[in-house]
Amino acid sequence: MSMVLAAEAGDTTARNLTITLFLVFVAVTLAITIWASRQTKTATDFYAGGRSFSGFQNGMAIGGDYMSAASFLGIAGIIALYGYDGFLYSIGFLVAWLVALLLVAELLRNSGRYTMADVLAFRMRQRPVRTAAAVSTITVSIFYLLAQMVGAGALVALLLGIRPGTTFLGMDADAAKIATIIMVGALMIIYVTVGGMKGTTYVQIVKAFLLMGGALVMTLLVLAKYKFNLSSLLGDAASSSGKGSAFLEPGLRYGVEVAGNATQTFYHKMDLLSLGIALVLGTAGLPHILIRFYTVPTARAARKSVLWAIGIIGTFYLLTLALGFGAAALVGSEAITAQDRAGNTAAPQLAEALGIDFLGGDLGGATLLAIIAAVAFATILAVVAGLTLASSSSLAHDFYANVIKNGAASERREVAVARISALVIGAVAIALSIFAQNLNVAFLVALAFAVAASGNLPAILYSLFWKRFNTSGAVWAIYGGLLSAVLLVFFSPVVSGAPTAMFPEQDWQWFPLSNPGILSIPFGFLCGWIGTIISKERDEEKYAELEVRSLTGAGAH
Amino acid sequence: MSTDTPAPTASTPERYLAVQRSDEFAGLRRALRGFVFPMTVAFFLWYALYVILSAYARDFMGTKLFGNINVALVFGLLQFVSTFVIAWLYSRYADRKIDPVADRIRNEIGEVTHEHGPRG
């Protein structure tokens, strides 16, 4: 009886503390946003933060934009439930930065202005290419937004201690999740419409420091518990998982071998390869990451920002090992799945367990839980703001100004349209994410990576490096890669025909893999090649201009 | 077209073509591609090896090296090391071999623009 009361007292403290900390974060970031809005006068300010950020600042902001709920909640959850396989995400998400560093960041910075399409449409006919790029930017960003919103929903149910059958302020778990999603959506719309790129960038910098701080503290506490002996942490995680040393090896979640069923085993292995390829090729096709390179003045600063980003992101992903295996050892998979089937709450539950141990009692647990939950909310908010900015920029700059108005829109109107677009995209993301609550957020982000790698990366690489590439090729590459990726996901076990699907009751599934990358990425490249050679269009002069500008920075905005 | 009265906009494409065909620019392109293409192939194969071993060489990946640390974990951590090393190598290379040439070519283009700019 007294234990229940103490737990309830702890819950209330956690709730109040989280709400307080979260409100502080919201107040600080809103203040920054309002300050930034006073400095936002031109379109360059709104879209690219006036190109005034340093390499270090932008590196931190990239970290803040990239280390999403998927990295913090999702990876920790997959490692906690399935062991080693979650680490694959950490590795893929990091190695992917080499594609951005070596092939894309500097050339894009030199030749583009506000959006990804600036580079794709540079030597092409504007309208078809920009339309395709806007469609693709919005599709990728919405997939990614879904993941963040699902993370927010899972978090709030944990924080408010709502499990099926209990209520908070008269709301049951589902109502509270939806209320949270709407609140997160409303905040991100404010950050973007008011603060533009400048406000969003500062929010991301603040968030990067909070997230690194939170993850470092938790890692130190986990390691301290095991006397800084990684091997004994792993041993404890393996034994409390009940799966023994298999927990520390690849194969529990991906590439599962089904005895006596060679076809299933083959599909599982292909799914693992597909995930691997999507992770490593996705980053350099993510529109919200690409537009970050426009916030610095030169290509050299863009390179510096990627180097900083690799440093901070790499460090963070090393910490996910301690968070994930720590949650497996100290919280246990039963307690995690009881709260969230997909494991999305493993990291905050670990925080609670560490708090009970180190700060003492339920109150300590509640305190650390509150701090980490507030960090996770900050993480989600910053990322959704970045995504909303990328898609509303593309709608306004690519679609409104260059397709509808043929490049004749005034700057003021263009920025006004961008602000309205942010509202619309926020609303769509809120509505869609209500259906995706059962999915692991790292997994959802992996889908966004697959779509980005299929729809955007082929067109970007061909544009920058292939002289013969033309309008037809760009349009084919984008639509071919994008459609194949999205359709394969739609007919995959992610959407229907499996107990964990978005629509578990329906079944129109025929594609066996849950990640489409292994087919849709090569298909995107193939479409780009076919589209190019069937068209006679070639513009040597424009290619000369693009190549010279992208390599030297001459004429850069 | 006469060379002493070029409209700046009309001359721009030709200027870029001329720069693109110059030996200096060809050298810059070679310097960049000569580093980034092989390096991309290298890290991609190294990463692919890791993913393929995770899928098909479970026994090897599960081999314990010391305590509970197995090959899979060490292999994964080596991916971090290689990423950091490649990023550092590229930054050093770009500082020395790319930036000076790019700056020089950009300045040459800039001077041309400057000569014609005020007239247009």
Contacts of B56 in chain A (CB under 8 A): 269
Check CB contact under 8 Å for B102 and A230. Answer: no
B114, pLDDT greater than 50:
no
The residue among B106, B108, B116 with the most chain A CBs within 10 A of its CB, best to mutate, is B106
What residues have CB less than 8 Å from B103, skipping those under 6 apart? A552
Tell me whether residue B1 is in a domain: no
Q: Which domain holds residue B22?
A: 8-119
Of A101, A254, A548, which has the smallest distance from its Cβ to B20's Cβ? A548
pLDDT of amino acid A115: 94
Q: How far is A544 from chain B (nearest CA, A)?
A: 5
Check CB contact under 8 Å for A249 and B19. Answer: no
Check CB contact under 8 Å for B83 and A555. Answer: no
pLDDT of amino acid A362: 80
Of all helices (H) and strands (E), which one includes residue A154? helix A126-159
| ipTM score of complex | 0.91
Q: Of A557, A520, A48, which Cα lies nearest the Cα of A294?
A: A48
Contacts of B29 in chain A (CB under 8 A): 547, 551
Predicted confidence band at B1 (pLDDT cuts at 50, 70, 90)? very low
Tokens representing B82? 């290689």
pLDDT of amino acid B53: 95
Check CB contact under 8 Å for A88 and B54. Answer: yes
Tell me whether residue B18 is in a domain: yes
Predicted confidence band at B7 (pLDDT cuts at 50, 70, 90)? very low
Check CB contact under 8 Å for B68 and A238. Answer: yes
Q: At how many degrees (to 10) do helices A75-82 and A441-455 cross?
A: 120
Predicted confidence band at B117 (pLDDT cuts at 50, 70, 90)? very low
Residue found by looking up tokens 């709030």 in the block? A156
Tokens representing A434? 């209500």
Helices marked H in A242-355 — which ranges? 262-282, 287-290, 299-330, 333-339, 346-355
Check if B22 contacts A (Cβ < 8 Å).
no
Tokens representing A144? 């990614």
pLDDT of amino acid A163: 57
Q: Which residue has the higher pLDDT, A222 or B117?
A: A222
- Average pLDDT taken over every residue of chain B: 85
Check if B111 contacts A (Cβ < 8 Å).
no
B 63-92 residues with CB below 8 A of A?
64, 66-70, 72-73, 76-77, 79-80, 83-84, 86-88, 90-91
pTM: 0.91
Q: At how many degrees (to 10) do helices A299-330 and A55-66 cross?
A: 40
Of A94, A257, A551, which has the smallest distance from its Cβ to B32's Cβ? A551
pLDDT of amino acid A342: 82
Contacts of A299 in chain B (CB under 8 A): 102
Check if B56 contacts A (Cβ < 8 Å).
yes
CB count within 10 Å of CB B12 equals 18
Tokens representing A105? 């960041």
Domains of chain A: 2-552 (1.20.1730.10)
Distance CA A25, CA A184 (A): 13
Which of A5-8's residues contact partners 24+ apart within 8 Å by CB, and which partners? A6/A361, A6/A362, A7/A362
Contacts of A555 in chain B (CB under 8 A): 109
Over residues B48-62, the pLDDT tens digits come to 999 999 999 999 999
Tell me whether residue B36 is in a domain: yes
Chain B residue at shortest CA distance from A465: B33
Tell me whether residue B78 is in a domain: yes
Tell me whether residue B27 is in a domain: yes
Of A102, A276, A547, which has the smallest distance from its Cβ to B39's Cβ? A102
Reported residue count of chain B is: 120
pLDDT of amino acid A409: 86
Q: What's the structural domain count of chain B?
A: 1
Check if B60 contacts A (Cβ < 8 Å).
no
Reading chain A (557 residues) residue by residue, the pLDDT tens digits are 344 444 555 567 667 777 788 788 889 888 988 998 888 888 999 999 999 999 999 999 999 999 987 788 889 999 999 999 999 999 999 999 999 999 999 999 999 999 999 999 999 999 999 999 999 999 999 888 888 887 787 777 777 665 555 666 667 777 877 888 888 888 888 888 888 999 999 989 999 999 999 999 999 999 999 999 999 999 999 999 989 999 999 989 888 888 888 999 999 999 999 999 999 999 999 999 999 999 999 999 999 999 999 999 999 999 999 999 999 999 999 999 988 888 889 999 999 999 999 988 888 888 888 888 888 888 888 888 899 999 999 999 999 999 999 888 888 899 999 999 998 988 888 888 777 776 677 777 888 899 999 999 999 999 999 999 999 999 999 999 999 999 999 999 888 888 877 778 889 999 999 999 999 999 999 999 999 999 999 888 999 999 999 999 998 88
Of all helices (H) and strands (E), which one includes residue A36? helix A2-38
Residue found by looking up tokens 């950091």 in the block? B84
Segment B10-28 shows an average pLDDT of 87
Tell me whether residue B83 is in a domain: yes
Tokens representing A24? 């502080």
Residue A236 to residues A48, A85, A241, A330, Cα–Cα distance (Å)? 48, 17, 8, 9
pLDDT of amino acid A518: 96
Question: How many CA atoms are closer than 13 Å to the CA of B78, on its beta-carbon side?
Answer: 12
Tell me whether residue B53 is in a domain: yes
pLDDT of amino acid A5: 42
Tell me whether residue B80 is in a domain: yes
pLDDT of amino acid A164: 55
B 23-52 residues with CB below 8 A of A?
25, 28-29, 32, 35-36, 39-40, 43-44, 47-48, 50-52
Check CB contact under 8 Å for A88 and B51. Answer: yes
